[in-house]
Chain A
């Protein structure tokens, strides 16, 4: 599995959900965690609640996927991390044989005051292409709460990826969104992440690293809006383009308060020439040098 050992399913200290298509194959909860799941013909509908003050020390593993070349998996999930609670979710999404398959996720997440959620989502797709991935989420971060998300799709064919995240951050809340994607052949990426810094001293960071080769395409939109005193945001997008790939980056920053500040940086192009030449001057071939540089960027 991507990022997980099968033995975790037997470990009673670790909460998990394993789903194939719209069938729940296995699940376990731990003290402080409530998981309600419903199978329907069209979706898995779930609610995940971490109770107020609960500290879930082991990551909650959520394993989704399809073992067939075709099919649809839709996940509708509400996540509530109640006041003062802390949890980490590791989501593994595996579609190793996908040729015409679809994975949709619609999530609504609420991180209560002083609570913390780290959400890591790793995808593995087979080499065939034809995968449609549509993760859409709205996340509300309460006062003093923290939300960290890390999306990676580095193995296999991306297919068509359409990410749409909207994050609202209240006073002294923190949101960090990170995405790392390696696209090949005719893969297509549309990534839109928006962070609304509503509260005073709220902070947001959107960091995107995308490497494109062959005829892959990507359009990356990172939006940060700051509405309150002391709000700080940053959008950092880097896209490496090789072959006949196309890339665009649209950082949108808006400030509605004189004491708020939002910055952005975007870089699109081939691998940095100086980095490349430094490594070649140490004996690496151009291909080896690119591989090392790209692996660092996508780490």
Chain B
């Protein structure tokens, strides 16, 4: 069953997307559509293909799909290089943000653009600009700080679509609401969010949600319906914790 809700001119329209590793499908004829100004949560067990989907959409090296189409704001995305996709308005916040020896937070948030003010984005993620802008993006920053700075860099971009891979990972429980505010801020700025998450309270803020299993969307609906479907482990492909479906 094609769980993709048909909508006119979605911002992101994925059709029949297939990506294999060693002839094993990681994404298997996947269909998904995301509207403009939509927060779309993507749930799935470990190994279901969530992060792979993020990397394929962003155009990471070694993640070229074997089949399918991806239209982003009406443009065929797949022939484009990574930085070209970013310049169209697509970006990705990594689950494990990179460290950059010697590069300051200011440089990372502005990326050489003289007209870019990094302070508002830094404040939005709860970090004081005077304490963080001149710090280096290296081992001195904690995991939580790097996550926040990663989100600040996405906010600074004002993307049309931000793919957030486990944005609340490494964030303490008290700060989850802060992360939720940041996700909503991306939408308020006119963007959409593809929200990859295991955390129910984060998924529930979405406008719509989908469940990914064995590389295919097996359920789409409201966040509550999708969370219940995911939690209910009614999927015949996995045990809900690990996606271990083996195609006959």
Contacts and interface: CB of A to CB of B under 8 A. Distances in A.
Contact of B87 (A283, A289, A293, A298): A283
A289 B136 CA distance: 17
B98 A284 contact: no
B97 A296 contact: no
A283 B86 contact: yes
B102 A299 contact: yes
B83 interface: yes
Size class of the contact patch on chain A: 20 to 34
B107 A292 contact: yes
B153 interface: yes
A244 interface: no
A284 B111 CA distance: 8
Contacts of B128: none
A277 B61 contact: yes
B132 interface: no
B58 interface: yes
Interface in A118-172: none
A18 interface: no
Contacts of A70: none
A169 B100 CA distance: 32
Given A273-B61, A281-B58, A296 B101 contact: yes
A293 B91 contact: no
B12 to A, nearest CB: 16
Given A277-B61, A279-B111, A288-B112, A293 B83 contact: no
A281 B103 contact: no
A275 B60 CA distance: 12
B116 to A, nearest CB: 11
Contacts of A296: 100-103, 107, 136-137
Given A288-B112, A292-B107, A280 B100 contact: no
Contact of B111 (A273, A275, A282, A299): A282
Contacts, number: 64
A295 interface: yes
A289 B103 CA distance: 12
Contacts of B58: 277, 281
Interface string B209-230: 0000000000000000000000
B186 to A, nearest CB: 15
Contacts of B99: 275
Choose among A273, A283, A289 the residue with the greatest number of B CB atoms under 10 Å from its CB: A283
A299 B103 CA distance: 8
A282 B102 contact: no
A279 B94 CA distance: 11
A293 B100 CA distance: 7
A137 to B, nearest CB: 26
A293 B103 contact: yes
Contacts of A282: 86, 91, 111, 153, 157
Contacts of A26: none
Contacts of B153: 282
Contacts of A284: 83, 111-112
A277 B81 CA distance: 11
A285 interface: yes
A20 B61 CA distance: 52
Given A282-B157, A292-B111, A297 B86 contact: no
Choose among B61, B91, B97, B103 the residue with the greatest number of A CB atoms under 10 Å from its CB: B103
Closest 8 pairs (CB-CB, A-B)? A296-B102, A296-B103, A299-B102, A283-B86, A280-B82, A280-B83, A278-B98, A274-B98
Interface of A: 238, 272-275, 277-286, 288-289, 292-293, 295-299
Given A283-B157, A284-B112, A295-B102, 5 more contacts: A278-B94, A292-B103, A292-B111, A296-B102, A296-B107
23 contacts: A272-B98, A275-B100, A278-B97, A278-B98, A279-B111, A280-B81, A280-B83, A281-B58, A282-B86, A282-B157, A283-B83, A284-B111, A286-B83, A288-B112, A289-B83, A292-B103, A292-B107, A293-B103, A296-B100, A296-B102, A296-B136, A297-B101, A298-B102
